[in-house]
A and B are shown apart, each in its own frame.
Chain A
Amino acid sequence: MSEKLLEIKNLKLYFNKGKKNEVRAVNDISFDIYKGETLGLVGESGCGKSTTGRTIIRLYNATDGEVLYKGENVHDTKNKSKTLEFNRTMQMIFQDPYASLNPRMKVNDIIAEGIDLHGLAKTKEERSKMVFDLLETVGLNRDHAGRYPHEFSGGQRQRIGIARALAVDPEFIIADEPISALDVSIQAQVVNLLKKLQREKGLTFLFIAHDLSMVKYISDRIGVMYYGRLVELTTSDELYRNPLHPYTKSLLSSIPFPDPEHERSRVRVAYDPDDHSYGENDEVKMREITPGHFVLCSEKEFNEMVNSSKATNQF
């Protein structure tokens, strides 16, 4: 695979650290994101997937751990211009297109805010030309620039959010449940748009979602989170074909597919974290079972999984 764009090393984010009500929202997570790929992050609400995304882009300051962007630790830098540059290359698309656009700003000011901040346009004409181009890129037209967010539908607003993220010509975009608030028919429009942009601009995505069928469709690799920890990480095909962690199995067995026959034959597996019965000396960490397929497990589980995957590979 191509070069690493982002390395996340032992990232931790604790809310109320050291207090009685400490919440380990992100608990020692490590993974890499390669240039040009889409990494999906899934898990149920409260598992820490959004917090992970927000910590990477530094909306939260990490409790511990490192985020390396092209090999540089971008969170610790004191250098202002470097921070500004980092903010430009990394952008975010938010879940709720109703809450993420300032209702009192016109669309062209919303989109151009980043352009102004980073001084990307030299003249007024250049600025509005950039805004018009962006609107066209996301499938809106230039007439929309003078309007306010409330004049748009949910799908259109999400396009404005995407245009805003693209305005500063980023390399890496964190999309935090960008389609969850949209209707099915509109979801497809937005997903196709994201895919097109990725092809044309060579973007890298971190795609956070809980709708697994869409995640599988858009992602090259998928990470599964449970209670602040990453429990499994592999390519999307492998995850669906050969899920190894019991939580992943349970999650996959609960997604309803739009196929009645598949639904009739579904067998649901429940996940109970106590089933692992880890001893005190068990070191539970991410281990590579087959090349590129990581699972959070103990030494003993690791051996079992390796053996069973060897057995399946023989057939």
Chain B
Amino acid sequence: MESILQVKNLNISFNTYAGEVKAIRGVNFDLKKGETLAIVGESGSGKSVTTKSIMQLLPKSNSEIKQGSEILFDGKNLVELSDKEMEKVRGKDISMIFQDPMTSLNPTMKIGKQIAEPLIKHQSFSRKQAMDRALELLKLVGLPQPETRIHQYPHQFSGGQRQRIVIAVALACNPKVLIADEPTTALDVTIQAQILDLMKNLQKKIDTSIIFITHDLGVVANVADRVAVMYGGKIVEVGTVDEIFYNPQHPYTWGLISSMPSIDADDDELFVIPGSPPDLLNPPKGDAFALRNRYAMTIDLEEEPPMFKVSDTHYAATWLLHPDAPEVEPPLAVQKRQHKFRGNNHTEGDVF
């Protein structure tokens, strides 16, 4: 499938009083046309910084995208675009839904005008045309009584309704790429389910590609086609949603997956990832996860693992995949999942 967006060797640092924080340390991925790529990881792993750099929303004053970083979209390297050129991409070809619907709308502006704004700016719609389109969009995102509510202010809506409005703004110009940064984290489960369904339906209708950032693995299982797991400013594992959930290879992914109770949970104790995330002021020398990893080997402390190929779609950065590495037993919860995976796909014993 053709790639719509490619991120190559992305390195980003923040300059702070304490020194240089290496927030993103060599991230590579591509987004394919029409797919949903979920990026998961704990706070501070670099998920949001990665996507903000795609939108070129990082503050110029203290952040630095390193030489050699490439974000390729539509034949252009977004990193090298001027602010003026970037304005033509932002909100038109690539748009974003933020986490908190309470703060991402302008409280002093009627919602209709907020939806019409990108249309007037990017598509040179007249005010009248833009308002008509805004009404259409509100219908599309399923807001009740759009004719009257288009003239209301954000505070007159509930959290779920506001997120629908934010989605309408983001979709106004039929973007090719939609970045959703924890779009449902601030919402209740019942509302979350509605918004996820809405996003999936809209994706089919307008044929856009989505980068979905979240730390909720349940949401990932629901929306994603592919999953990238981030840790310490790097992607440590990437694969299809089935590969990540049923055949994870990286010990960090094991930890994430087995620290959540399963549906038929009878586990006495949840698997715990000990310790806390690495300090990116002084990133560790070897594998950033090594100190929290009970499967760590000597080499993990000395040398960073490269991406090992598991299948055509599945890669993981762990020395455990090296041919010389010893066999290890993943946590029980992961073994159960792997069993299911093999059962479904009959890869075991297959002759290639």
Residue in chain B with minimal CB distance to A43: B188
> In the docked arrangement, what's the CA distance between A251 and B224, Å?
22
| Nearest Cβ on chain B to A262's Cβ, whole angstroms | 6
Interface contact A259-B269, CB-CB below 8 Å: no
Asked whether A210 and B222 contact (CB < 8 A) given A260-B242, A260-B245, the answer is no
Contact B273 A258 (CB under 8 A): no
Given A254-B190, A268-B193: A183 and B218 within 8 A (CB)?
no
Residue in A186, A216, A250, A260 with the greatest tally of chain B CB atoms within 10 Å: A260
B104 → chain A, closest Cβ, in Å?
A: 19
Task: Give the distance in Å from the alpha carbon of A153 to the alpha carbon of B218 in the complex.
Answer: 25
Interface string of A169-212 (1 = CB under 8 A from B): 00000000000000111111101100100000000000000101
Cβ 8 A contact of B221, one of A195, A253, A263? A263
Residue interface bits B193-236, CB-to-A below 8 A is 1, else 0: 10011000000000000000001111111101000000000000
Complex Cα–Cα for A251 and B267 (A)? 23
Q: Mark B244-281, 1 if CB is under 8 A from A, else 0.
A: 01100000000111011111010101111110100000
Interface positions, chain A 112-169, Cβ under 8 Å from B, are 153, 155-156
Tell whether A262 pairs with B270 under 8 Å between CB atoms, given A45-B188, A217-B265, A250-B190: no
Q: Is the CB of B193 within 8 A of A256?
A: yes
Distance of A214 Cα from B265 Cα, bound (Å): 10
B267 contacts across to A, CB distance below 8 A: 217
Q: Is B167 an interface residue (CB 8 A)?
A: no
- Within the complex, the shortest CB–CB distance from A76 to chain B, in Å, comes to 35
Do A262 and B259 form a contact, CB below 8 Å, given A44-B190, A153-B276, A216-B265? no
Q: A213-B261, A256-B221, A262-B221 are in contact. Are A44 and B189 (CB under 8 A)?
A: yes
Known contacts A256-B219, A258-B218, A260-B242, A185 near B272 by CB under 8 Å: yes
A255 part of interface (Cβ distance < 8 Å): yes
Are A268 and B197 CB-contacts (below 8 A) given A44-B188, A44-B190, A263-B222? yes
**Interchain nearest-CB distance for A158 vs B (Å):** 13
Name the A residues within 8 Å of B222 (CB-CB). Answer: 256, 263, 266
- Is residue B241 within 8 Å, beta carbon to beta carbon, of the partner chain? yes
Does B43 contact A259, Cβ atoms closer than 8 Å?
Answer: no
Cross-interface CB contact of A210 among B188, B216, B255, B273, cutoff 8 Å: B188
Cβ distance B167 to chain A, nearest Cβ, rounded Å:
18
How far is the CB of A26 from the nearest CB of chain B, in Å? Answer: 18
Q: Which residue of B lies closest to A211 (CB)?
A: B189
Q: A213-B218, A214-B261, A250-B190 are in contact. Are A188 and B272 (CB under 8 A)?
A: yes
Residues of B within 8 A of A213 (CB): 218, 260-261, 263, 265
What chain A residues lie within 8 Å of B117 (beta carbons)?
none
Q: How far is A27 from B216 in the complex, measured between Cα atoms in Å?
A: 32
Q: Decide if A60 is an interface residue (CB 8 Å cutoff).
A: no
The answer to the question of A15 belonging to the interface, with a C-beta cut-off of 8 Å to chain B, is no
A278 at the interface (CB under 8 A from B): no
Interface SS of chain A: helix, strand, loop or mixed?
Answer: helix
Contact status A183-B215, CB under 8 Å: yes
Cα–Cα, bound, A185→B260 (Å): 8
Q: Determine whether B20 belongs to the interface, using a CB cutoff of 8 Å to chain A.
A: no
Which of A192, A253, A258, A266 meets B260, CB within 8 Å? Answer: A258
Contact partners of A258 in chain B: CB under 8 A:
217-218, 220-221, 245, 257, 260, 262
The answer to whether residues A260 and B193 also contact, given A183-B42, A183-B215 and a CB cut-off of 8 A, is: no
Identify which of residues 126-180 in chain B touch chain A, using a CB-to-CB cut-off of 8 Å: none
Considering only residues 16-48 of chain A, those with a C-beta below 8 Å from chain B are: 44-45
Measured CA separation A251–B188 after assembly (Å) = 10
Q: Are B245 and A259 in contact (CB under 8 A)?
A: yes
Give the complex CA separation of A188 and B255 in angstroms. 10
Would B190 and A185 count as touching, CB distance under 8 A? no
Residues on A with C-beta less than 8 A from B221 are 256-260, 262-263
Interface centre among B242, B267, B276 (most CB of A within 10 A): B276
Is there contact, CB below 8 Å, between B218 and A210?
no
Give bound CA distance, A255 to B189, whole Å.
6
**B293 adjacent to chain A (CB < 8 Å):** no
Chain B residues whose C-beta falls within 8 Å of the C-beta of A217 in the assembled complex: 261, 265, 267, 270
A44's nearest neighbour on chain B, judged by CB, is: B188
Interchain CB contact under 8 A, A185 and B256: yes
Contact (Cβ within 8 A) B196 A256 = yes
Q: What is the CA–CA distance of A255 and B222 in the complex, to the nearest angstrom?
A: 10
**A211 vs B271: C-alpha distance in the bound complex, in angstroms?**
18
Report B-chain residues with C-beta under 8 Å of the C-beta of A255. 189, 218
Residues of chain B contacted by A188 (CB below 8 angstroms)? 259-260, 270-273
- Closest residue on chain A to residue B267 by CB atoms: A217
Give B21-77 interface residues, CB cut-off 8 Å to A. 42-43
Closest A residue to B42 by beta carbon equals A183
Set of chain B residues within 8 Å of A156, measured between Cβ atoms:
276
Contact string against B for A residues 247-281, beta-carbon threshold 8 Å, 1 for contact and 0 otherwise: 00011011111111011001010010000000000
- Chain A residues positioned under 8 Å from B188 (CB to CB): 44-45, 210
Q: How many angstroms between the C-alpha atoms of A184 and B192 in the bound complex?
A: 18
A262 to B340, CA, bound (A): 12
Query: CA of A258 to CA of B257 in the docked complex: distance in angstroms?
Result: 8
| A212 adjacent to B189 (CB under 8 Å) | yes
The 3 lowest CB-CB distance pairs between A and B, nearest first, are A256-B218, A254-B193, A188-B259
- Given A184-B260, A258-B221, A259-B262, 14 additional A-B pairs, CB 8 A: A44-B188, A183-B42, A184-B215, A185-B42, A186-B276, A188-B273, A192-B270, A210-B188, A213-B260, A217-B270, A254-B192, A259-B245, A260-B221, A266-B222
Q: Give 26 CB contacts A-B under 8 Å.
A: A183-B43, A184-B42, A184-B215, A184-B216, A184-B256, A185-B256, A188-B270, A188-B273, A189-B273, A192-B270, A213-B218, A213-B261, A214-B261, A217-B261, A254-B190, A255-B218, A256-B216, A256-B219, A256-B222, A257-B221, A257-B262, A258-B217, A258-B245, A259-B263, A260-B221, A263-B221
Binding site for B on A (CB under 8 A): 44-45, 153, 155-156, 183-189, 191-192, 195, 210, 212-214, 216-217, 250-251, 253-260, 262-263, 266, 268, 271
